[in-house]
Amino acid sequence: MVDVQGTVADGFEPVRDAFAENFARRGERGAAVAVYREGRKIVDLWGGVRDADGDAGGVAEPWERGTAQIVRSATKGVAAAVLLLLHQRGQVDLDAPVGTYWPEFKAAGKERVLVRHLLSHRAGLPALDVPLTPAQAIDGVTGPAAVAAQAPAWEPGTAHGYHAQTYSWLLGELVERITGRSLGRWVAQEIAGPLGLDLWIGLPEEETARAGRIADIEPPAVTAPSAGLRVRPKQAVTDAYADPESLTRRAFAAISPAADENDPAYRAAELPASAGIATADALARFYASLIGDVDGVRRLFAPATLTLARTEESAGPDKVLVVNTRFGLGYMLHGPASPLLAPGSFGHPGRGGSLAFADPESSLSFAYVTNGMQKNVTADPRAQALVRATARALS
């Protein structure tokens, strides 16, 4: 039995039970979960091991308070906040063409791609004609140049499809063109610093040097995604991913071969689509700050910005994920493919497990991170067990 560490507020014991059950029944390896309500932390749990070799004959290193983890696409929710906050401050027009800020982007029929299209996965740029190597993906130059030269896969604004990898270079370059700062630096200075978050898009060298600070990620044994199985049969998604010519496969293989996510160089890279590193507490606290004040720090999203984040921009068949998905401006919305807490919730999962979101109506934020990747994209059974337990505790 895994020794679950941490605390829960009275009434939230079901979350501890579900967390322990994830280790006993759902193949959990190392993980943490945190929940805030009205700016106060009410769940803070962790357990398991943080290294990738612990149960393969090596000495298992325990997950500790403060262990951080790569959260894959849950990073997108943090990146989206940057564009929305720049809009809130009057520095970017969401309805302006991307080329207004990034002239080179106008190439190959993209003159009418709007900033809001990038956030809502409607730009038509989920895949590259020529995938990038891991080294090219993180060099800060090749990725932006590739998406600027890429022709759209569909007429921008007319449909949506998940921009699994290209989101990194689209948002990252746009933020740098607007602010003169990299997206990771902007997050560090404007969000993580003021809120005291152990959250990075681009892990600093000093954090890399701290032994045991970052949990190793273990890829799933089966790589075919299983997003939205409540909506479409598993075979439909699996077949699309297996077909090397499909948009699904090409989108996820925009970096090929796949990068080593435990490589210090990858962890240090600023990839806002997939390489953020955070503790569960930091992600939950981040989402808490979008909807309310936290420890004297004024809420980040004004009411109008919060409305933008969770107002449906894209819905229906996703050209990449195959299943029906729903997006606001940068955030996945509650639905069968990505169940959150309630209809008004908004957030983002990470492929293989992680999940973070906020629910303004209940003044609650939630985050779960794991290093034991499983084969899902959006609806991880461990995360969903914790969400259901949180809902029971609220009822």
Alpha-carbon span 126 to 121, nearest angstrom: 8
Peptide bond into 233 cis (omega under 30): no
SS3 130: coil
Alpha-carbon span 330 to 80, nearest angstrom: 5
Max CA-CA distance within the chain? 57
Q: Which two tokens stand for residue 71?
A: 């959260």
Q: Of the listed 73, 120, 182, 314, which one is catalytic?
A: 73
Alpha carbon 43 to chain centroid distance? 21
Alpha-carbon span 31 to 69, nearest angstrom: 9
Nearest to 164 by CA among 128, 114, 217, 201: 128
Among all chains, which residue has been given the structure tokens 């029971």?
392
**Pairing label, strands 5-8, 40-48:** antiparallel
Q: Tell me the Ramachandran region of residue 363: left when phi exceeds 0, alpha when psi lies from -120 to 50, beta otherwise.
A: left
Say which amino acid occupies 354: S
Whether the Cβ atoms of residue 309 and residue 84 lie closer than 8 Å to each other: yes
Q: In the annotation, is 120 catalytic? A: no
Residues marked as catalytic: 73
